[in-house]
Amino acid sequence: MCSYKPGYLELFESGELERRVDKAWESLSSCKICPHLCRVNRLEGEHGFCKATDQAVVASYGPHFGEEGPLVGRKGSGAVFFSWCNLRCLYCQNYEISHLGAGRAVSNELLASCFLSLQKDGCHNINFVTPSHMVPFILQALLKAVKGGLSIPLIYNTGGYDSIWTLRLLDGVVDIYMPDFKYWNKEAGEHLSNIANYPQVAKKAVKEMHRQVGELILGPDGVAQRGLLIRHLVLPGGLSDTRSVLKYIAEEISPNTYVNLMDQYRPCGMAHKYPPLDRRISQDEFAEALRAAEDVGLNRLNKRK
């Protein structure tokens, strides 16, 4: 069991967590959970960009050992993969889940039991994968899970397209923020994820996350307890403008930000139709990304396996 006391326990004890739950749930009647601001009534079964309505949809859950070392530890990160998404990335590695909605609608009671089951399995944390459009259900389930004894850190594992309004609902609830920072140029965001304002939103979101939790803190066992971890996937042909993204992180967030510079891009989803997304990145392209990280002064890169 983790010796670190997550912030959501204090919010629960003060009654603030329940107030956050109510506020998030009310917003579903004219949805403003993410920056799309679709304003549909999800409580009545309407859906906007993300296609989610009035229940969480879960593709899978279980101990996950493919995440960064500080999240996995010895017993794994307790991943809950949510279906649908508020992005439309052409190359998504979980295309069937994010674009096609593969998964099962679950009640908040069942979702809470998933959290508790992962804790019972010994997972170091609960890892919400693609949670941006599911926050009201996560908060309701969290309230129930805390009553059932949940006491391990929460990870908000997001594509980076998050509203400040929702992030502030999560202030003190989330222990570890793990956003993607995908692109620097709006043209890339529009073409690759159908989100023209992605860079503008991601910059503000990452700053807010850092304000809430600061730099990544590891416990005596090397497992993350609290803080910010940013992922950046290097895309072929310089599509992600990696140098600009890393420069922003170093100068506007902190050079001590824990960054996972990822080289595992492979063509998935519809990528084969859109060169250069139809190929993996080259060794030279990733070497240039590593040089960029060094040039801008980032000193806390995730160690590659």
164 CB neighbour count, 10 Å cutoff? 13
Q: What does the DSSP assignment read for 131-193? A: -TT-HHHHHHHHHHHHHTT--S-EEEEE-S---HHHHHHTTTT-SEEEEB---SSHHHHHHHH
pLDDT tens for each residue of the chain, 305 residues long: 457 999 999 999 999 999 999 999 999 999 999 999 999 999 999 999 999 999 999 999 999 999 999 999 999 999 999 999 999 999 999 999 999 999 999 999 999 999 999 999 999 999 999 999 999 999 999 999 999 999 999 999 999 999 999 999 999 999 999 999 999 999 999 999 999 999 999 999 999 999 999 999 999 999 999 999 999 999 999 999 999 999 999 999 999 999 999 999 999 999 999 999 999 999 999 999 999 999 999 999 998 65
Give SS3 for 125.
coil
> What was the pLDDT predicted at 1?
46
254 domain residue, yes or no: no
111 domain residue, yes or no: yes
Tokens of 263: 């080289």
Residue 83: CATH number of its domain = 3.20.20
> What was the pLDDT predicted at 210?
98
Backbone phi and psi for residue 228, each to the nearest 5 degrees, phi listed first: -110, 135
The model's pTM is: 0.97
54 domain residue, yes or no: yes
276 CB neighbour count, 10 Å cutoff? 15
Domain enclosing residue 169, as ranges = 7-231
Number of domains comprising the chain: 1
